[in-house]
Amino acid sequence: MKKPCVLGIPSLFSFMILLSALLPLAPALQAPSSVRQNFPLITSPTSPVYLDSSATSQKPTFVMDKMREYEMTTNSNVHRGAHRLSREATDMYEAARDKLATFINAPSRRGVIFTSGATHSLNLLAKTLGPTLEDGDEIILSVMEHHSNIVPWQMLRDFGGVDVKIKWCNLDSEGGTLDYDHLATLVTPRTKVISIVHTSNTLGCTTDTKKIASIKADHAHPDCVYVVDGCQSLPHMKVDVQDMGCDFYVASSHKMCGPTGVGLLWGREELLDSLNPFFGGGEMIDEVTIEGSTYAALPGKFEAGTPCISQAIGFGFAIDYLNSIGGMDKVHDYEKKLGSYLHSKLSAVEGVKIYGPSNPEERSALCAFSVDGIHVSDIASFLDLENVAVRAGHHCTQPLHTYLGISHTARASCYVYNDEADVDIFVEKLRETIEFFKSTGS
Protein backbone atom coordinates (compact mmCIF):
# COMPACT_ATOMS: atom_id res chain seq x y z
CA MET A 1 0.00 0.00 0.00
CA LYS A 2 1.25 3.42 -0.83
CA LYS A 3 1.90 5.22 2.45
CA PRO A 4 -0.74 7.92 2.96
CA CYS A 5 1.96 10.52 3.32
CA VAL A 6 5.57 10.46 4.33
CA LEU A 7 6.98 13.92 4.28
CA GLY A 8 10.57 14.99 4.57
CA ILE A 9 11.13 18.36 6.22
CA PRO A 10 9.03 20.56 3.98
CA SER A 11 8.49 24.26 4.12
CA LEU A 12 5.31 25.25 5.84
CA PHE A 13 3.84 26.15 2.47
CA SER A 14 4.50 22.74 0.94
CA PHE A 15 3.23 21.18 4.13
CA MET A 16 -0.09 23.03 3.83
CA ILE A 17 -0.42 22.08 0.15
CA LEU A 18 0.22 18.46 0.97
CA LEU A 19 -2.19 18.65 3.85
CA SER A 20 -5.01 19.89 1.64
CA ALA A 21 -4.19 17.27 -0.96
CA LEU A 22 -4.02 14.48 1.55
CA LEU A 23 -7.52 13.05 1.47
CA PRO A 24 -7.89 12.79 -2.29
CA LEU A 25 -4.51 11.00 -2.40
CA ALA A 26 -5.38 8.56 0.32
CA PRO A 27 -5.52 4.98 -0.95
CA ALA A 28 -8.59 2.77 -0.79
CA LEU A 29 -8.65 -0.27 1.48
CA GLN A 30 -6.14 -2.82 0.36
CA ALA A 31 -5.17 -6.19 1.70
CA PRO A 32 -4.68 -6.04 5.45
CA SER A 33 -1.07 -7.12 4.90
CA SER A 34 -0.46 -3.80 3.19
CA VAL A 35 -2.23 -1.90 5.99
CA ARG A 36 0.07 -3.77 8.31
CA GLN A 37 3.14 -2.24 6.68
CA ASN A 38 2.04 1.15 7.98
CA PHE A 39 2.71 0.06 11.55
CA PRO A 40 6.46 -0.18 12.13
CA LEU A 41 6.19 -1.38 15.71
CA ILE A 42 4.52 -4.63 14.67
CA THR A 43 6.40 -5.32 11.45
CA SER A 44 10.08 -5.33 12.41
CA PRO A 45 11.79 -8.74 12.60
CA THR A 46 11.69 -8.60 16.41
CA SER A 47 8.13 -7.26 16.72
CA PRO A 48 5.76 -9.08 19.00
CA VAL A 49 2.48 -10.53 17.79
CA TYR A 50 0.57 -7.59 19.22
CA LEU A 51 -2.84 -8.61 20.56
CA ASP A 52 -3.38 -5.86 23.11
CA SER A 53 -5.06 -3.17 21.04
CA SER A 54 -8.00 -2.83 23.40
CA ALA A 55 -5.50 -1.39 25.88
CA THR A 56 -3.88 0.84 23.28
CA SER A 57 -3.52 0.57 19.54
CA GLN A 58 -0.34 0.99 17.54
CA LYS A 59 0.12 4.15 15.47
CA PRO A 60 0.72 4.22 11.73
CA THR A 61 3.81 5.99 10.38
CA PHE A 62 1.49 8.52 8.81
CA VAL A 63 0.18 9.76 12.17
CA MET A 64 3.63 9.80 13.78
CA ASP A 65 5.13 11.67 10.81
CA LYS A 66 2.36 14.25 10.76
CA MET A 67 2.65 14.88 14.49
CA ARG A 68 6.41 15.29 14.25
CA GLU A 69 5.98 17.61 11.33
CA TYR A 70 3.51 19.74 13.27
CA GLU A 71 6.02 20.01 16.12
CA MET A 72 8.84 20.93 13.74
CA THR A 73 7.01 23.42 11.54
CA THR A 74 4.03 24.84 13.39
CA ASN A 75 4.21 24.32 17.16
CA SER A 76 2.62 27.25 18.94
CA ASN A 77 -0.13 27.94 21.44
CA VAL A 78 -3.67 28.10 20.12
CA HIS A 79 -6.26 30.87 20.27
CA ARG A 80 -3.75 33.29 21.71
CA GLY A 81 -1.12 34.84 19.51
CA ALA A 82 -1.82 37.05 16.58
CA HIS A 83 1.30 35.65 14.92
CA ARG A 84 1.38 33.25 12.01
CA LEU A 85 2.41 30.11 13.88
CA SER A 86 -0.34 30.55 16.43
CA ARG A 87 -2.92 31.09 13.71
CA GLU A 88 -1.76 28.00 11.86
CA ALA A 89 -1.69 25.87 15.03
CA THR A 90 -5.20 27.09 15.84
CA ASP A 91 -6.38 26.23 12.34
CA MET A 92 -4.97 22.71 12.62
CA TYR A 93 -6.41 22.19 16.10
CA GLU A 94 -9.85 23.33 14.97
CA ALA A 95 -9.56 21.29 11.77
CA ALA A 96 -9.08 18.22 13.98
CA ARG A 97 -12.32 19.10 15.77
CA ASP A 98 -14.10 19.32 12.42
CA LYS A 99 -12.74 15.92 11.39
CA LEU A 100 -13.97 14.41 14.62
CA ALA A 101 -17.39 16.06 14.28
CA THR A 102 -17.77 14.58 10.78
CA PHE A 103 -16.44 11.19 11.92
CA ILE A 104 -19.16 10.81 14.58
CA ASN A 105 -21.80 12.72 12.58
CA ALA A 106 -22.18 15.36 15.28
CA PRO A 107 -24.78 17.98 14.37
CA SER A 108 -22.13 20.66 14.86
CA ARG A 109 -18.56 21.16 16.00
CA ARG A 110 -19.71 23.03 19.13
CA GLY A 111 -20.58 19.80 20.93
CA VAL A 112 -17.16 18.24 20.26
CA ILE A 113 -14.89 18.76 23.27
CA PHE A 114 -11.26 17.67 23.43
CA THR A 115 -10.35 16.11 26.77
CA SER A 116 -7.27 14.19 27.88
CA GLY A 117 -9.12 10.89 27.30
CA ALA A 118 -12.32 9.02 27.98
CA THR A 119 -11.57 8.91 31.70
CA HIS A 120 -11.35 12.70 31.77
CA SER A 121 -14.59 12.94 29.76
CA LEU A 122 -16.48 10.71 32.20
CA ASN A 123 -15.11 12.59 35.22
CA LEU A 124 -16.14 15.84 33.57
CA LEU A 125 -19.66 14.51 33.16
CA ALA A 126 -19.96 13.16 36.70
CA LYS A 127 -18.65 16.43 38.13
CA THR A 128 -20.81 18.74 36.02
CA LEU A 129 -23.98 16.65 36.14
CA GLY A 130 -23.65 16.37 39.94
CA PRO A 131 -25.21 19.76 40.71
CA THR A 132 -28.21 18.90 38.52
CA LEU A 133 -29.07 15.88 40.74
CA GLU A 134 -31.12 15.78 43.92
CA ASP A 135 -31.13 13.48 46.92
CA GLY A 136 -32.81 10.20 45.97
CA ASP A 137 -31.98 10.45 42.27
CA GLU A 138 -30.66 7.34 40.57
CA ILE A 139 -27.68 6.63 38.35
CA ILE A 140 -27.79 3.40 36.36
CA LEU A 141 -24.62 1.59 35.38
CA SER A 142 -24.06 -1.97 34.21
CA VAL A 143 -21.90 -4.60 35.89
CA MET A 144 -19.65 -4.72 32.82
CA GLU A 145 -18.53 -1.07 32.99
CA HIS A 146 -14.88 -0.08 32.87
CA HIS A 147 -13.70 1.49 36.14
CA SER A 148 -13.61 4.84 34.33
CA ASN A 149 -17.39 4.61 34.05
CA ILE A 150 -17.85 3.51 37.65
CA VAL A 151 -15.50 5.40 39.93
CA PRO A 152 -16.44 8.97 38.85
CA TRP A 153 -20.10 8.18 39.66
CA GLN A 154 -19.16 6.61 42.99
CA MET A 155 -17.09 9.72 43.76
CA LEU A 156 -20.10 11.86 42.93
CA ARG A 157 -22.21 9.77 45.32
CA ASP A 158 -19.54 9.75 48.05
CA PHE A 159 -18.12 13.28 47.83
CA GLY A 160 -20.58 15.22 45.66
CA GLY A 161 -22.83 16.44 48.45
CA VAL A 162 -25.85 14.70 46.97
CA ASP A 163 -27.35 11.43 48.15
CA VAL A 164 -27.72 9.61 44.84
CA LYS A 165 -28.25 5.89 44.44
CA ILE A 166 -26.25 3.80 41.97
CA LYS A 167 -28.19 0.87 40.50
CA TRP A 168 -26.54 -1.95 38.58
CA CYS A 169 -27.87 -3.62 35.48
CA ASN A 170 -27.03 -7.32 35.16
CA LEU A 171 -26.06 -9.37 32.14
CA ASP A 172 -28.33 -11.73 30.24
CA SER A 173 -28.55 -15.41 31.23
CA GLU A 174 -25.44 -16.48 29.31
CA GLY A 175 -23.43 -13.56 30.73
CA GLY A 176 -22.90 -12.30 27.20
CA THR A 177 -24.41 -8.84 27.08
CA LEU A 178 -26.71 -6.41 28.86
CA ASP A 179 -30.00 -7.71 30.23
CA TYR A 180 -32.38 -5.15 28.69
CA ASP A 181 -35.37 -6.54 30.60
CA HIS A 182 -33.52 -5.99 33.84
CA LEU A 183 -32.62 -2.48 32.71
CA ALA A 184 -36.29 -1.71 32.10
CA THR A 185 -37.13 -2.77 35.64
CA LEU A 186 -34.34 -0.63 37.13
CA VAL A 187 -35.17 2.65 35.39
CA THR A 188 -37.70 4.79 37.24
CA PRO A 189 -38.88 8.41 37.22
CA ARG A 190 -36.02 9.06 39.70
CA THR A 191 -33.43 7.94 37.16
CA LYS A 192 -31.41 10.94 36.02
CA VAL A 193 -28.32 9.26 34.51
CA ILE A 194 -27.88 6.05 32.53
CA SER A 195 -24.21 5.47 31.69
CA ILE A 196 -23.46 2.26 29.81
CA VAL A 197 -20.62 1.00 27.68
CA HIS A 198 -21.12 0.65 23.93
CA THR A 199 -18.66 -2.21 23.30
CA SER A 200 -17.36 -4.02 26.38
CA ASN A 201 -13.56 -4.18 26.65
CA THR A 202 -13.86 -7.60 28.34
CA LEU A 203 -16.93 -9.35 26.93
CA GLY A 204 -16.65 -7.90 23.42
CA CYS A 205 -20.43 -7.46 23.17
CA THR A 206 -21.95 -4.26 21.75
CA THR A 207 -24.99 -2.82 23.47
CA ASP A 208 -28.08 -1.72 21.58
CA THR A 209 -28.07 2.04 22.14
CA LYS A 210 -31.49 2.56 20.57
CA LYS A 211 -33.03 0.02 22.89
CA ILE A 212 -31.43 1.72 25.90
CA ALA A 213 -32.58 5.13 24.65
CA SER A 214 -36.11 3.83 24.30
CA ILE A 215 -36.09 2.34 27.82
CA LYS A 216 -34.93 5.74 29.05
CA ALA A 217 -37.71 7.50 27.14
CA ASP A 218 -40.35 5.10 28.51
CA HIS A 219 -39.31 4.92 32.16
CA ALA A 220 -36.82 7.58 33.23
CA HIS A 221 -37.18 11.14 34.47
CA PRO A 222 -37.65 13.49 31.49
CA ASP A 223 -34.29 15.14 32.26
CA CYS A 224 -32.43 11.83 32.41
CA VAL A 225 -29.26 11.77 30.32
CA TYR A 226 -27.86 8.72 28.54
CA VAL A 227 -24.04 8.55 28.44
CA VAL A 228 -22.30 6.08 26.11
CA ASP A 229 -18.75 4.92 26.79
CA GLY A 230 -17.52 4.47 23.23
CA CYS A 231 -13.86 3.67 23.95
CA GLN A 232 -14.10 0.26 22.30
CA SER A 233 -16.62 1.14 19.60
CA LEU A 234 -15.33 4.32 17.94
CA PRO A 235 -12.04 2.62 16.88
CA HIS A 236 -13.89 -0.29 15.29
CA MET A 237 -17.17 0.76 13.72
CA LYS A 238 -19.04 3.67 12.18
CA VAL A 239 -20.58 5.75 14.93
CA ASP A 240 -23.40 8.20 14.37
CA VAL A 241 -24.14 10.01 17.62
CA GLN A 242 -27.36 11.46 16.22
CA ASP A 243 -28.70 8.06 15.27
CA MET A 244 -27.71 6.30 18.51
CA GLY A 245 -30.16 8.14 20.73
CA CYS A 246 -27.58 9.11 23.34
CA ASP A 247 -26.96 12.47 24.99
CA PHE A 248 -23.20 12.12 25.55
CA TYR A 249 -20.54 9.95 23.93
CA VAL A 250 -16.92 9.54 25.06
CA ALA A 251 -13.83 7.94 23.51
CA SER A 252 -10.00 7.98 23.53
CA SER A 253 -7.67 8.64 20.60
CA HIS A 254 -4.97 6.16 21.64
CA LYS A 255 -7.25 3.20 20.97
CA MET A 256 -7.77 4.25 17.35
CA CYS A 257 -4.32 4.86 15.83
CA GLY A 258 -3.91 8.25 17.50
CA PRO A 259 -1.75 9.52 20.35
CA THR A 260 -2.32 9.21 24.09
CA GLY A 261 -3.37 12.25 26.10
CA VAL A 262 -6.39 13.23 24.05
CA GLY A 263 -9.97 12.07 23.98
CA LEU A 264 -13.46 13.04 23.02
CA LEU A 265 -16.50 14.23 24.85
CA TRP A 266 -19.45 14.75 22.56
CA GLY A 267 -22.64 16.11 24.04
CA ARG A 268 -25.93 17.54 22.88
CA GLU A 269 -25.34 21.27 22.73
CA GLU A 270 -28.30 22.35 24.81
CA LEU A 271 -27.12 20.04 27.59
CA LEU A 272 -23.51 21.17 27.42
CA ASP A 273 -24.72 24.78 27.37
CA SER A 274 -26.76 24.17 30.50
CA LEU A 275 -23.95 22.56 32.52
CA ASN A 276 -21.48 24.46 34.68
CA PRO A 277 -17.88 24.50 33.48
CA PHE A 278 -15.54 21.80 34.81
CA PHE A 279 -11.97 23.12 35.04
CA GLY A 280 -11.48 26.86 35.32
CA GLY A 281 -8.63 28.87 33.85
CA GLY A 282 -7.49 30.41 30.61
CA GLU A 283 -9.37 29.89 27.33
CA MET A 284 -12.66 28.88 28.94
CA ILE A 285 -13.68 32.40 29.95
CA ASP A 286 -15.43 35.29 28.32
CA GLU A 287 -14.44 37.91 30.86
CA VAL A 288 -12.71 37.80 34.25
CA THR A 289 -13.00 40.50 36.91
CA ILE A 290 -12.10 40.39 40.58
CA GLU A 291 -15.82 39.99 41.30
CA GLY A 292 -16.33 36.97 39.05
CA SER A 293 -16.08 35.45 35.60
CA THR A 294 -18.27 34.79 32.63
CA TYR A 295 -17.60 31.78 30.50
CA ALA A 296 -16.77 31.11 26.87
CA ALA A 297 -19.28 29.59 24.50
CA LEU A 298 -18.94 25.95 23.51
CA PRO A 299 -16.63 24.20 22.95
CA GLY A 300 -14.14 26.51 24.71
CA LYS A 301 -16.16 26.47 27.94
CA PHE A 302 -14.92 22.93 28.63
CA GLU A 303 -11.35 23.32 27.38
CA ALA A 304 -9.58 25.25 30.15
CA GLY A 305 -5.89 26.07 29.83
CA THR A 306 -3.54 25.14 27.03
CA PRO A 307 -5.17 22.11 25.45
CA CYS A 308 -3.52 18.93 24.17
CA ILE A 309 -2.71 20.65 20.88
CA SER A 310 -0.40 18.27 19.04
CA GLN A 311 -2.33 15.28 20.40
CA ALA A 312 -5.65 16.66 19.13
CA ILE A 313 -4.05 17.32 15.76
CA GLY A 314 -2.69 13.75 15.83
CA PHE A 315 -6.20 12.49 16.65
CA GLY A 316 -7.42 14.27 13.51
CA PHE A 317 -4.69 12.59 11.44
CA ALA A 318 -5.65 9.21 12.94
CA ILE A 319 -9.15 9.82 11.59
CA ASP A 320 -7.66 10.69 8.19
CA TYR A 321 -5.75 7.43 8.34
CA LEU A 322 -8.80 5.31 9.19
CA ASN A 323 -10.72 7.01 6.38
CA SER A 324 -7.81 6.47 4.00
CA ILE A 325 -7.85 2.68 4.46
CA GLY A 326 -11.48 2.52 3.43
CA GLY A 327 -13.46 3.96 6.33
CA MET A 328 -15.12 2.47 9.36
CA ASP A 329 -17.55 0.12 7.62
CA LYS A 330 -14.62 -1.65 5.99
CA VAL A 331 -12.64 -1.66 9.22
CA HIS A 332 -15.66 -3.16 10.95
CA ASP A 333 -16.24 -5.83 8.27
CA TYR A 334 -12.61 -6.88 8.38
CA GLU A 335 -12.53 -7.04 12.16
CA LYS A 336 -15.77 -9.03 12.24
CA LYS A 337 -14.14 -11.75 10.14
CA LEU A 338 -10.94 -11.66 12.14
CA GLY A 339 -12.88 -11.70 15.42
CA SER A 340 -14.83 -14.80 14.33
CA TYR A 341 -11.60 -16.50 13.36
CA LEU A 342 -10.05 -15.68 16.74
CA HIS A 343 -13.13 -16.93 18.56
CA SER A 344 -13.32 -20.22 16.64
CA LYS A 345 -9.60 -20.99 16.94
CA LEU A 346 -9.51 -20.18 20.65
CA SER A 347 -12.73 -22.08 21.38
CA ALA A 348 -11.09 -25.21 19.97
CA VAL A 349 -8.32 -25.15 22.57
CA GLU A 350 -9.03 -27.65 25.34
CA GLY A 351 -9.47 -26.13 28.78
CA VAL A 352 -10.11 -22.60 27.47
CA LYS A 353 -13.23 -20.73 28.55
CA ILE A 354 -14.12 -17.56 26.63
CA TYR A 355 -16.32 -14.90 28.21
CA GLY A 356 -18.96 -12.87 26.43
CA PRO A 357 -21.51 -13.81 23.76
CA SER A 358 -21.24 -17.35 22.40
CA ASN A 359 -22.42 -16.13 19.00
CA PRO A 360 -19.37 -14.78 17.13
CA GLU A 361 -21.69 -12.43 15.21
CA GLU A 362 -22.32 -10.55 18.43
CA ARG A 363 -18.66 -10.14 19.31
CA SER A 364 -15.96 -7.62 18.54
CA ALA A 365 -12.46 -8.81 17.69
CA LEU A 366 -11.38 -9.60 21.24
CA CYS A 367 -11.58 -12.59 23.55
CA ALA A 368 -11.15 -12.54 27.30
CA PHE A 369 -10.52 -16.09 28.47
CA SER A 370 -9.33 -18.32 31.27
CA VAL A 371 -7.61 -21.70 31.15
CA ASP A 372 -8.47 -24.60 33.46
CA GLY A 373 -5.93 -24.94 36.23
CA ILE A 374 -3.47 -22.29 35.01
CA HIS A 375 -3.29 -18.71 36.27
CA VAL A 376 -3.80 -16.22 33.47
CA SER A 377 -0.73 -14.22 34.58
CA ASP A 378 1.37 -17.32 33.90
CA ILE A 379 -0.30 -17.67 30.51
CA ALA A 380 0.49 -14.05 29.61
CA SER A 381 4.08 -14.31 30.91
CA PHE A 382 4.76 -17.47 28.94
CA LEU A 383 3.22 -15.98 25.80
CA ASP A 384 5.40 -12.92 26.30
CA LEU A 385 8.48 -15.15 26.32
CA GLU A 386 7.25 -16.37 22.92
CA ASN A 387 6.87 -12.74 21.76
CA VAL A 388 3.08 -12.75 21.87
CA ALA A 389 1.58 -9.73 23.66
CA VAL A 390 -1.74 -10.34 25.42
CA ARG A 391 -3.04 -8.78 28.59
CA ALA A 392 -3.84 -10.56 31.85
CA GLY A 393 -5.68 -9.05 34.78
CA HIS A 394 -9.10 -7.60 35.44
CA HIS A 395 -8.92 -5.14 32.51
CA CYS A 396 -10.37 -2.40 34.76
CA THR A 397 -13.62 -4.37 35.00
CA GLN A 398 -13.33 -5.80 38.50
CA PRO A 399 -17.10 -5.73 39.19
CA LEU A 400 -17.65 -7.72 35.98
CA HIS A 401 -15.08 -10.32 37.03
CA THR A 402 -16.71 -10.55 40.47
CA TYR A 403 -20.12 -10.92 38.80
CA LEU A 404 -18.76 -13.77 36.67
CA GLY A 405 -17.18 -15.39 39.73
CA ILE A 406 -13.59 -15.03 38.54
CA SER A 407 -10.74 -12.74 39.52
CA HIS A 408 -8.74 -12.40 36.30
CA THR A 409 -8.82 -13.22 32.63
CA ALA A 410 -6.33 -13.11 29.81
CA ARG A 411 -7.37 -11.06 26.79
CA ALA A 412 -6.35 -11.15 23.15
CA SER A 413 -7.60 -8.12 21.25
CA CYS A 414 -7.15 -7.37 17.56
CA TYR A 415 -7.15 -4.29 15.41
CA VAL A 416 -7.11 -3.56 11.72
CA TYR A 417 -3.39 -4.42 11.37
CA ASN A 418 -3.75 -7.94 12.79
CA ASP A 419 -4.43 -10.91 10.60
CA GLU A 420 -5.11 -14.63 10.77
CA ALA A 421 -1.40 -15.41 11.00
CA ASP A 422 -1.26 -13.47 14.29
CA VAL A 423 -4.16 -15.51 15.63
CA ASP A 424 -2.53 -18.76 14.48
CA ILE A 425 0.74 -17.97 16.23
CA PHE A 426 -1.09 -16.91 19.40
CA VAL A 427 -3.18 -20.10 19.49
CA GLU A 428 -0.19 -22.33 18.72
CA LYS A 429 1.88 -20.71 21.50
CA LEU A 430 -1.06 -20.92 23.88
CA ARG A 431 -1.39 -24.66 23.18
CA GLU A 432 2.32 -25.11 23.83
CA THR A 433 2.03 -23.17 27.09
CA ILE A 434 -0.87 -25.32 28.25
CA GLU A 435 1.03 -28.49 27.29
CA PHE A 436 4.04 -27.28 29.25
CA PHE A 437 2.00 -26.68 32.41
CA LYS A 438 0.26 -30.04 32.01
CA SER A 439 3.59 -31.83 31.56
CA THR A 440 5.02 -30.29 34.72
CA GLY A 441 1.84 -31.16 36.60
CA SER A 442 1.43 -27.54 37.76
Ligand X SMILES: Cc1ncc(COP(=O)(O)O)c(C=O)c1O
Catalytic residues: 396
Does residue 411 touch ligand X according to CB under 6 A? no
Tell me whether residue 119 or residue 324 sits nearer to ligand X (CB atom): 119
- Which range touches ligand X (CB under 6 A), out of 150-158, 183-191, 224-232, 423-431? 224-232
* Least gap, CB of 40 to ligand X (angstroms): 23
* Least gap, CB of 409 to ligand X (angstroms): 14
Does residue 229 touch ligand X according to CB under 6 A? yes
- Is the distance from CB of 201 to CB of 146 less than 8 angstroms? yes
Does residue 117 touch ligand X according to CB under 6 A? yes
- Which range touches ligand X (CB under 6 A), out of 112-120, 165-173, 335-343, 364-372? 112-120
- What is residue 202's three-state secondary structure? coil
Does residue 142 touch ligand X according to CB under 6 A? no
- Which range touches ligand X (CB under 6 A), out of 33-41, 73-81, 226-234, 400-408? 226-234
Among 67, 124, 215, 231, binds ligand X (CB under 6 A): 231
Q: Packing angle between helix 376-385 and helix 420-439, nearest 10 degrees?
A: 120
C-alpha distances out from residue 82 to 78, 87, 296, Å? 10, 7, 19
Which amino acid does the sequence have at 103? F
- Is the distance from CB of 116 to CB of 91 less than 8 angstroms? no
**Cα 140 to Cα 284: distance, rounded to the nearest angstrom:** 31
Does residue 53 touch ligand X according to CB under 6 A? no
Among 35, 51, 118, 309, binds ligand X (CB under 6 A): 118
- Is the distance from CB of 263 to CB of 242 less than 8 angstroms? no
Tell me whether residue 110 or residue 255 sits nearer to ligand X (CB atom): 255
- Which range touches ligand X (CB under 6 A), out of 62-70, 145-153, 265-273, 414-422? 145-153
Give the torsion sign (CA, 20, 21, 27, 32). Answer: negative
- Which range touches ligand X (CB under 6 A), out of 166-174, 228-236, 309-317, 422-430? 228-236
Burial of residue 310 (CB within 10 Å: 0-12, 13-18, 19+) is buried
Among 38, 128, 177, 252, binds ligand X (CB under 6 A): 252
CA atoms within 13 A on the CB side of 321: 32
**Rg of the chain's alpha carbons, rounded to an integer?**
23
Does residue 57 touch ligand X according to CB under 6 A? no
Tell me whether residue 170 or residue 293 sits nearer to ligand X (CB atom): 170
* Least gap, CB of 407 to ligand X (angstroms): 18
Tell me whether residue 117 or residue 175 sits nearer to ligand X (CB atom): 117
Among 97, 110, 146, 216, binds ligand X (CB under 6 A): 146
- Is the distance from CB of 225 to CB of 272 less than 8 angstroms? no
Does residue 352 touch ligand X according to CB under 6 A? no
Please work out, in degrees rounded to the nearest 5, the angle formed at the alpha carbon of residue 136 by the alpha carbons of 132 and 140.
Answer: 75
Total number of residues binding ligand X (CB under 6 A)?
13
Other C-beta atoms closer than 10 Å to the C-beta of 136 total 11
Cis peptide bond upstream of 40, omega within 30 = no
Length of the chain as a residue count: 442
Which amino acid does the sequence have at 401? H
Per-residue mark of binding to ligand X, 378-407 (x: CB under 6 A):
------------------x-----------
- What is residue 189's three-state secondary structure? coil
Site for ligand X in 201-220 (CB under 6 A): 201
- Is the distance from CB of 277 to CB of 295 less than 8 angstroms? yes
Among 74, 142, 209, 232, binds ligand X (CB under 6 A): 232
**Cα 347 to Cα 330: distance, rounded to the nearest angstrom:** 26
Does residue 265 touch ligand X according to CB under 6 A? no
Q: Which residues bind ligand X (CB under 6 A)?
A: 117-119, 146, 148-149, 197, 201, 229, 231-232, 252, 396
